[in-house]
Structure 1
Amino acid sequence: MHREKDKRSVIRAVSWHFSLSLVIAVITAGVTFGLWFPYPYRELAGGGHLFWLIVGVDVVCGPLLTAVVFNSRKPLRELMLDLGCIGLIQLGALTYGLYSLWHTRPIYLAFEVDRFQVVTYADIKKDDLKPESERLHRLPWAGVRLIGTRTPANGAEMMESLDLSLRGFSPAFRPDWWQDYEYSIDRVKARAHAVADLKKKRPDAEKMINDKIAQAGIPEVDMVWLPVTSFRSLEWVVVLSRKTGQTIVFLPVDGF
């Protein structure tokens, strides 16, 4: 009789813990995928993998630990101490996970030479940030903005830029090279390719490309595309308006 009662108490405690953890996971998902990693950046910047790791710790491990330590026969103080420790472990894991998501969140989609580069907070050369004087240096806390990068001012700067790129700091990662996207649109149009070229390059993806373009509701002749790169993927392209250079849709296709 006592054993059956203890079992029901454990199930009740685990259910409450699981429900609370699930609510926290839903809120975290809203912040992660609604603000920091909107589609397609959850794939391009890896936010999805990190989120599921956080959920695994919060929603699964927490209630399991409660099932292990919960015993209604324990003194109330001891039981509260055990559950408090589990809560602190979960809170610490959640805080670290959110901190990691914040630092890997995409901030800008920057045009650079012949492609678009996803710029995350972790990518940026922080020493060059001047938020007090440069508007683009005041980094957005949510969403991804479209920007451009300027061209080298002279030969010496071009050589310096090449050296920095070889060390992992491409122009898109250097705040002093950022500029408003409108100043790069002419270069974007000059570098962009016809959608027909993408279908010839990747015939296995032609149906998916046609479906996505049809959903956009814009004639194919009015669209162009460029590759999109990030620290974890080279296999995406962005389809743009031929007239305005603005983004229309992203496609999971290798553009190189």
Structure 2
Amino acid sequence: MFSYWYPYPHREVSGGRELFLIMVSVDVIIGPLMTLIIYDSRKSLRVLRYDIAVIVLLQIVALGYGLWTMSMARPVHLVFEIDRFRVVHAIDVPPELLDQTRPGIVALPYRGPTVLGLRPFKDDLEKMHATLAALQGLQLSYRPEFWQSYDASRNDVLRIAKPIEQLKARFPDSVKQIEAATAGKAEAARTILYVPFSGRKDFWTVLIDGRNGDILGYLPLDSF
């Protein structure tokens, strides 16, 4: 789950760690704890076997429901949206819009989130409708008809990205953390930029290679 569905930093920004702990806790409660509660040495072996079978069945159901929940909540895309990156989760995408996904893009991948961009609006009318929908909660990044490859959005990313020095100036207490995140990236060190990152729970920062727009890393800093 953490290798494919919730790789770093999504186990933090998408709540993967909390969901996993809840799932494990529920299974532990249903399993060992209920076994202790129902066990009675005076019960016949037949009755104990029946009780244990019921507990095992409940555990399997709880595990299946937990896996389904984590699957529906998993991040599927990291989309560059105008002035930020936004995480899109499987449950965020309206099912009726999935058939509008452009060729070459997997709508709901299971092997980790992919990086995408958004195509330009066709006209002012489309922009107005999209803005109204966003105000009602349907963000642009949740709409497959706007998705495009990240390569097509690299110039847009570089245009709005800001120098890493500005981030250090904004967060003087986190300079060491910022430098640690950029360590080992000597070739890109002079051109590292940053872009805000909107997750389900928190706001983070994406580090960008200023030469080509590649994503270099992430920081738990709200740079909005």
2:137 match: 168
Maintained 8 Å contact 1:131/1:138: no
More helix by share: 1
Identify the residue that residue 245 of structure 1 maps to in structure 2: 213
Offset at residue 71 of structure 1 (A) = 3.6
Matched, 1:254 2:189: no
- The structure whose Rg is larger is 1
Q: Are 2:169 and 1:200 equivalent residues in the alignment?
A: yes
Distance, in Å, in 1 between the alignment partners of 2:94 and 2:37 is 46
For residues 105-128 of structure 1, the C-alpha deviation after alignment (integer angstroms, 9 at most, x for no partner) is 000000010110000001112212
Is residue 76 of structure 1 aligned with residue 51 of structure 2? no
Deviation at 1:67, TM superposition (A): 1.7
Aligned partner of 2:74 in structure 1 is 105
Provide, for residues 203-254 of structure 1, a one-character-per-residue CA deviation record: whole Å limited to 9, x for no partner. Answer: 12111101111144444212111011023222x0010111121111100011
Q: 1:122 aligns with which of 91, 107, 130?
A: 91
Size of the alignment, in residue pairs? 224
Query: Which SS does the other structure have where 2:156 is aligned?
Result: helix
Indicate the residue corresponding to 2:25 in structure 1.
56
Alignment-derived partner of residue 186 in structure 1: 155
Secondary structure in structure 1 of the residue aligned to 2:112: coil
Q: Secondary structure at the match of 2:130?
A: helix
Partner of 1:92: 61
Equivalent residues of 1:216, 1:249 under 8 A apart: no
Deviation at 1:174, TM superposition (A): 0.3
Q: Please tell me whether the aligned partners of residues 15 and 200 of structure 2 are also in contact (alpha carbons under 8 angstroms).
A: no
Check whether the contact 1:130–1:137 (CA below 8 A) recurs between aligned residues: no
Structure 2 unaligned regions, length at least 5: none
* TM-score between the two structures when normalised by the length of structure 1: 0.83
RMSD: 1.7
Task: Measure, in 2, the Cα distance between the counterparts of 1:243 and 1:74.
Answer: 72
In the alignment, structure 1 segments of 5+ residues that lack a partner are 1-31
Matched residue SS, 1:110: strand
Partner of 2:117: 148
